[in-house]
Amino acid sequence: MAIVHRLLRSAAAAFSPAAAAARRGLSALAAEQTLERNVQWVFLGCPGVGKGTYASRLSQLVGVPHIATGDLVREELASSGPLSQQLAEIVNQGKLVSDEIIMDLLSKRLERGETKGESGFILDGFPRTVGQAEILEGVTEIDLVVNLKLREDVLLEKCLGRRTCSQCGGNFNIASINVDEGNGKPGMYMPPLLPPANCMSKLIIRADDTEEVVKKRLDIYNELSRPVEEFYRKRGKLLEFDLPGGIPESWPKLLQALNIEDHEDKQCAVA
Residues with catalytic roles: 51, 128, 162, 206, 217
| Residue 150 and residue 190 in contact, taking contact as beta carbons nearer than 8 Å | no
Residue 237 identity (one-letter amino acid)? K
Minimal distance in Å, beta carbon 94 to ligand AMP? Answer: 6
Of 179-208, which residues contact ligand AMP (CB under 6 A)? 208
Beta bridge partners of 242: 149
CB-wise, 94 or 120, nearer to ligand AMP?
Answer: 94
When asked if residue 44 is in the footprint of ligand AMP (CB under 6 A), the reply is: no
Amino acid 228 reads V
Q: Is 73 helix (H, G, I), strand (E, B) or coil?
A: helix
Q: How far apart are CB 266 and ligand AMP at their closest, in Å?
A: 26
Q: Is 250 in the site for ligand AMP (CB under 6 A)?
A: no
Going by C-alpha positions, the residue among 185, 189, 187, 159 that lies closest to residue 173 is: 159
113 binds ligand AMP (CB under 6 A): no
Among 7, 43, 47, 161, binds ligand AMP (CB under 6 A): 47
Contact by Cβ (8 Å): 173, 192: yes
Stretch touching ligand AMP by CB under 6 A, among 24-32, 121-129, 233-241, 256-264: 121-129
Burial 87-113 (b: 16+ CB within 10 A, else e): bbebbeebebbebebbbbbbbbbbbeb
The answer to whether residue 97 forms part of the interface with ligand AMP (CB under 6 A) is yes
**Phi, psi (degrees; rounded to nearest 5) at 127:** -80, 150
- Contact flag: residue 156 with ligand AMP (CB under 6 A): no
Asked if residue 70 binds ligand AMP (CB under 6 A), the reply is: yes
DSSP bridge pairs for 189:
178
* Segment near ligand AMP (CB under 6 A); pick from 17-25, 32-40, 125-133, 254-262: 125-133
Round to whole Å and give the CA distance between 73 and 58. Answer: 22
- Residues near ligand AMP (CB under 6 A) are 47, 69-70, 73, 90-91, 94-97, 102, 125-126, 128, 132, 208, 217
